[in-house]
Structure formats: structure tokens, C-alpha cells
Chains A and B, each alone.
Chain A
Amino acid sequence: MVVSRFVPGRKRVGPGIESLTVTFGDRGALIRARGLVKRYGDFEAVRGIDLDVPSGEAFGFLGPNGAGKSSAMRMIACVSPTSSGELTVLGLDPLADGSAIRARIGVCPQEDQLDVELTVRENLTVYGRYFGLSRAECRSRADELLDFVQLTDKANAKVESLSGGMKRRLTIARSLINQPDLLLLDEPTTGLDPQARHLLWDKLFRLRQQGVTLVLTTHYMDEAEQLCDRLVVMNDGRIVAEGSPTALIAQYSTREVTELRFGVGHHEQLGGKVADLAERIEVLPDRLLLYTDDGERATSEVAARGLRPDSVLVRRSTLEDVFLRLTGRSLVD
């Protein structure tokens, strides 16, 4: 059985690939993990996760710092051996075929590993050679990619002179030099200003439309909502929830949230008086959150009880609400 990977406008199936494709299995999962574990000495960073990422999906790992996202990504990228459990990437075993798998994936690591002593363009051409591409091929792909990430003007600049956002774009361009089937992006936009983030999202969105399978980690909810078809929330090395952004909101939060602000210090005590108005409430130092499917009704009932908040905000639930519910509000660092 051959799982078709036909994507309009992209011809990528070549000799040798069919034979790999056959082993993808029924669902055509590019990544399949069962009970995947990563240990560093005695410490377990990834504690048995299961994953199936089908071809063409944009899949996200969402989680606080230290959740084990990068450890999972590095195992999938075949740069970090698994400690136990099963993992197949592109239908192959990372232990036996790491090099062959890496030939077909693109990796954008959490921290840019650009050669700051080379020019922007050389960073691409030199990297392309590691994949066995000819010099001419590297040059033409480098030019296309520089155009794609809008760095053509900087082609001959030293990497040192680039801004953080430009370096990130260059790292993403570099991860595309081998025209990967699977692109792994570890916190692609962390530390970037909003303009740079939106530019990058646009680029990633285009790649997704081309049929490139994206796997990314992030701790930005808006990023996960924008880019991911499906995501897992990780906490403490475990997957604590899984689904599409909308499904996760439906499952772990309510449709709407009413935010009430009273004077600082009153929230604890007022929490009890409104608890029955919502499915769930959360008391924060500066506000009360009422999780309910009808925020307006909750608001009028609050008023009917004679409570006069300084401000009221009714909003839709976001992934952030899901995230904070699942991973807690205490600071992980």
C-alpha cells in the first residue's frame, strides 16, 4: 500500500521514497510515538507520551518552560536518543536511520545555531551541502529562500549584524533548504516583536498550505490557535490534554469568561458570593474570572445581587484559559 503524498505544485516523490512511504502504516503518520521517555541521568524530562502526527497536519506542543517540549522535539529530530518507548519518524527508526530521517526533515532549534562568521547566504549554501545538494542547487535554493523570508537585501551581510527576528527567519529558511517533508520548529517566535512574529506566522502558514507537515512548540496561545490544527498540552513531561484549539476550549473551558474587577484585596471574599453564577470561578489577586456559557447573564446576575464591580469584561474563552487551567498559575522556571 502506498500512501499518496501528492501536493499540488510540489513534486517531491522520487526514487526510494515510495519504499519508505509503504511503511508509514494505515494512517500515514509521519510521527508515531508510544510511551516515549527521555531521561537525563535520573531526571525524567519526558514521561511516556503517545503521539500520532499525520502527514500534512500542523501539530503543536503547548506547555510551560521545562514541560519537556524541546526534549520531545529533539528526539523526533533524531538528535537525541530516546530513553525508552517507541518512536518512528517518517516510518523509520531514529536509532537505525537517524541520518536518513534527518535528510528529509527541517529543524529550527530553540536557539539559532547560525554561523555568525559567515554571511547570510553562506549560512544557507554551506548548510545545503550537508544534505548532499550540488553547489548550484544550494545557490538557487538559497536565493529562493532568502526571497521567501524577505532577507534578499541582507544576503551578503554577516549574520552578526542581523536583528533577532531576521536571525530567526534565516534559521527557518535554513531548515527549508532540503525541502523537508516534515518541519520541526522549537519556539519559532519566542523573543520576537509582534511584527516579526506576524511575518513568521505568514511564512509558516504558506508552508502549511503547501502541504509541509509542521510540528511546533510554543508557549504563546495565539500562536497555537493561529497555526495548529491540533495540539497537545504538556506539563511536567506528560501530555495533559489533546485536541484542536476549539475542541480543547470546549472541553476544558466554557464558551465565555466574565472578568470582574473590584478593589484590590476584595476578590477573595467576593468569590464566594458569585461562585454559583458560573460553572467554575477563579480568584486572582486583581480580578475574578467567571467561566460560563453566557457571560452577559452572569454579569446581570452579579448586578442583581447588588455587587458593583469597578469594571466588567465579557470575552470568549481562549486557549490561555485552557492552558492555565491545565498547567496551573504558579510560575515554572
Chain B
Amino acid sequence: MTAASPPTAASAPAPAGRTGTLGLALRQFDYWLTVYRRTWKGSAVSSFVMPLLYLTAMGVGLGGFIDDPDAIERLGGLTYLEYIAPGLLAATVMQNAVFESTYPVMSGIKWNKVFVAMLNTPVVVPALLLANFGYIAFRMTTIAGVFIVVTAVFGLVPSVWAGLLGLLVAVLIGLAHATPVVALSGRLENDAGFAIVFRLGVMPMFLFSGAFFPVSQLPAVFEWLAYVTPLWHGVELTRMLTTGTLEAGMAAVHTGYLLLWLMTGWWLAIKTFSRRLVQ
């Protein structure tokens, strides 16, 4: 048919009342679903294969050489496999969370401008960020979920509860890194800065935040630097859970420190996004 008539308003208009931040964030569900649909396949394989490869190569292969009683004592009486499994989980989550907070965010602001378009609708900046962080939390749940199942197969998860708590902690670690990096992405003019984030942030943190060896092995300055990183706290917290050495005081410190990064990053993200997108 060619006689296209303009659409007529058959139903009531969209409600004129104010919708809360959560409500506005939920309206973005379908958008994030489309994002997930077009990216999950690429990441599903790697999020399953990567931990398997790392655990086999480093935990089983390399760990086989570590039978020195002195070394095992320094690892807290754990086998090397037991030692690095939680570390790898935390570090993998960190790495993925940072990735999700860089290029896709810059695309929304600058390349594809999806975020700019959203703000032409009732969506507001805090709701936009809440939805984005919700999506990142979901991504971290799937990545950590697969990882935990794989480590459980290696016999490294003591109980279902430890696994579930580990999942929760993984989301916390992910968001503690995602929110400040999203805030940064809201400031950067181009993606050149991301190379620095990965080389000077992600890589050193991945290697030196206690995932693969105790930070006490490091020279004092770097040891203290490691304590400042949110990842070290995440690694320690995860390790407490998988090795059944949970200690309330330290667990609270680690959780609190991660929450501090999360909240600060969130607050900064609202600031940088508002300045960038509402000008």
C-alpha cells in the first residue's frame, strides 16, 4: 500500500508524571538486551576458555613446580592452584569490567551517540548510568559465574555458599573498577587514553595485585601501591571465600574499600557525564 497515512494517537499519551531513576533505568533494558545479543557470543567462548587455560597452564602446569614447603607456607598453606584460582577470578573480572567501561562508553557518547540520543527522551544521566552499571554487573555475573563453575570442577570451591558469595564479590569488584573508569571515559576526548589505562592500569594491576603471588614479595613501595589498588582487596576477599578463611574484620575492610571506589566512581561518573552530555 502506498497511501501511508500519518499515525494517529489511538492510546493515551505517555504518562506526564515523574518517573524515578530506577524506572527510567529499566526502560533501557531492551537497549542493553540488544547490546548483549550482539556481543555475548564473542565473549562467551573466551570467558569459558580463558579461565580454563589459565588454571591449567599456571595452576596445574606451573604450580606443579611449586612444592617447596617454604613457598607453600608463604602462600598461606595453599597449593598454587588453590592460591591463584580466586586471584584469577578477581583479576579477570577487573579486566572485563574495565573493558566494558571504555570503548562501549565512548561509543555511546561520541561515536554511535546512543547516550546522546537517550537524553532526548525522559531518560536522565543518573538513570542512564544506573542502566549501564546494571549491564556491567550482569556481564560480570555471567563471566564470574562461568569461572566459578570451572573452578568448582577443579574442586576449588568449598561450598555452594562460597560460590554464590564469590559471585557477589565478583560483581562488587567489577563495579568498583567500572564506575571510576566510566567516569574517566566521560571525560576523555578520544580513545587514545584507553591505551594508557590498559598499559599503566590494567596490566600492572592484573600482574601485581596479589593474584599470582603474595604482594609481600614486591619491593616495599610497590607492595604499598598494591594495597591501594581495589583489585588487591578484591583478590584477598575472593581468596578468603574460596579457601574458607573468611575473617569478618578484614572482609569488612576489603568490602568497604571496594564500596568506596564504587561510590566515588559513581559520583564522578554522574559529574563527568552531566558536564559532557548536558551542556
Task: List chain A positions with a Cβ less than 8 A from chain B.
Answer: 9-12, 14-17, 20, 40, 77, 79-81, 97-100, 102-104, 107, 109, 111, 113-118, 122, 125-127, 129-133, 135, 137, 141, 144-145, 147-150, 175-176, 178-179, 181, 203, 206-207, 210
Q: Which 3 A-B pairs have the closest CB atoms?
A: A14-B12, A130-B121, A113-B117
CB pair B34 A207 closer than 8 Å = no
User: Which segment of B13-21, B88-96, B194-202, B215-223 sits at the interface?
Assistant: B13-21
Query: From residue B251, how far is it (CB to closest CB) to chain A in Å?
Result: 40
Whether A102 touches B122, Cβ cut-off 8 Å, given contacts A80-B278, A117-B112, is: yes
Whether A145 touches B34, Cβ cut-off 8 Å, given contacts A77-B120, A99-B24, A103-B16, is: no
Per the bound structure, the CA–CA distance linking A17 and B13 in Å amounts to 9
Contact residue range for chain B? 35 or more
CB pair A179 B7 closer than 8 Å = yes
> Is B203 in the interface zone, CB < 8 Å from A?
no
Residue of A nearest to B114 (CB): A115
Per the bound structure, the CA–CA distance linking A135 and B10 in Å amounts to 16
CB pair A115 B16 closer than 8 Å = no
CB pair B7 A148 closer than 8 Å = yes
Query: From residue B173, how far is it (CB to closest CB) to chain A in Å?
Result: 29
Q: Most A CB atoms within 10 A — which of B11, B13, B31, B34?
A: B13
Per the bound structure, the CA–CA distance linking A86 and B5 in Å amounts to 38
CB pair A99 B19 closer than 8 Å = yes
Residue of A nearest to B17 (CB): A16
Whether A12 touches B7, Cβ cut-off 8 Å, given contacts A80-B279, A99-B24, A131-B122, is: no
Per the bound structure, the CA–CA distance linking A293 and B38 in Å amounts to 64
A-B contact pairs, 26 of them (CB 8 A): A11-B9, A12-B13, A16-B15, A16-B17, A20-B16, A79-B120, A80-B278, A80-B279, A81-B278, A100-B122, A102-B121, A104-B13, A104-B16, A109-B117, A109-B120, A117-B112, A125-B30, A126-B34, A130-B31, A131-B14, A131-B122, A132-B14, A132-B15, A178-B14, A179-B9, A181-B13
Per the bound structure, the CA–CA distance linking A115 and B122 in Å amounts to 18
CB pair B122 A130 closer than 8 Å = yes
CB pair B124 A17 closer than 8 Å = no
Q: Which of B9, B114, B122 contacts A99 (CB 8 A)?
A: B122
Given A102-B120, A130-B123, 8 more A-B residue pairs with CB atoms under 8 Å apart are: A10-B8, A12-B13, A79-B119, A80-B279, A129-B30, A130-B31, A131-B121, A179-B13
Per the bound structure, the CA–CA distance linking A144 and B30 in Å amounts to 20
Residues on A with C-beta less than 8 A from B119 are: 79
Whether A79 touches B14, Cβ cut-off 8 Å, given contacts A107-B120, A126-B34, is: no
Whether A113 touches B16, Cβ cut-off 8 Å, given contacts A99-B124, A102-B121, A129-B31, is: no
Query: From residue A206, how far is it (CB to closest CB) to chain B in Å?
Result: 5
Residues on A with C-beta less than 8 A from B31 are: 126, 129-130
Residues from 1 to 55 in B contacting A, C-beta threshold 8 Å: 1, 4-19, 23-24, 27-31, 34, 38
Residues on A with C-beta less than 8 A from B29 are: 129
Per the bound structure, the CA–CA distance linking A103 and B120 in Å amounts to 9
Residues on A with C-beta less than 8 A from B23 are: 132
Query: From residue A167, how far is it (CB to closest CB) to chain B in Å?
Result: 13
Residues on B with C-beta less than 8 A from A131 are: 14, 27, 121-122
Per the bound structure, the CA–CA distance linking A115 and B118 in Å amounts to 11
CB pair A176 B13 closer than 8 Å = no
Q: Most A CB atoms within 10 A — which of B14, B31, B34?
A: B14
CB pair A148 B6 closer than 8 Å = yes
Q: Which of A10, A11, A99, A147 contacts B4 (CB 8 A)?
A: A147
Query: From residue B275, how far is it (CB to closest CB) to chain A in Å?
Result: 11
Q: Which of A40, A103, A207 contacts B6 (CB 8 A)?
A: A207
CB pair B6 A210 closer than 8 Å = yes
CB pair A141 B30 closer than 8 Å = no
> Is B74 in the interface zone, CB < 8 Å from A?
no
Proximity bits, B101-115, A CB within 8 Å = 1, else 0: 000000000001110
> Is B66 in the interface zone, CB < 8 Å from A?
no
Residue of A nearest to B113 (CB): A113
> Is B152 in the interface zone, CB < 8 Å from A?
no
> Is B168 in the interface zone, CB < 8 Å from A?
no
Residue of B nearest to A209 (CB): B6
Q: Most A CB atoms within 10 A — which of B5, B10, B116, B122?
A: B122
CB pair A132 B19 closer than 8 Å = yes
Q: Most B CB atoms within 10 A — which of A10, A109, A113, A137?
A: A113
Query: From residue B29, how far is it (CB to closest CB) to chain A in Å?
Result: 7
Residues on A with C-beta less than 8 A from B279 are: 40, 80
Residues on A with C-beta less than 8 A from B116 are: 109, 113
CB pair B16 A100 closer than 8 Å = yes
Residues on A with C-beta less than 8 A from B120 are: 77, 79, 102, 107, 109, 113, 175
Per the bound structure, the CA–CA distance linking A203 and B29 in Å amounts to 31
Query: From residue A102, how far is it (CB to closest CB) to chain B in Å?
Result: 5
Q: Which of A14, A116, A133 contacts B112 (CB 8 A)?
A: A116
CB pair B17 A100 closer than 8 Å = yes
Per the bound structure, the CA–CA distance linking A253 and B120 in Å amounts to 38
Per the bound structure, the CA–CA distance linking A12 and B6 in Å amounts to 15
CB pair B8 A9 closer than 8 Å = yes
Per the bound structure, the CA–CA distance linking A103 and B15 in Å amounts to 8
Query: From residue B12, how far is it (CB to closest CB) to chain A in Å?
Result: 4
Residue of B nearest to A144 (CB): B7
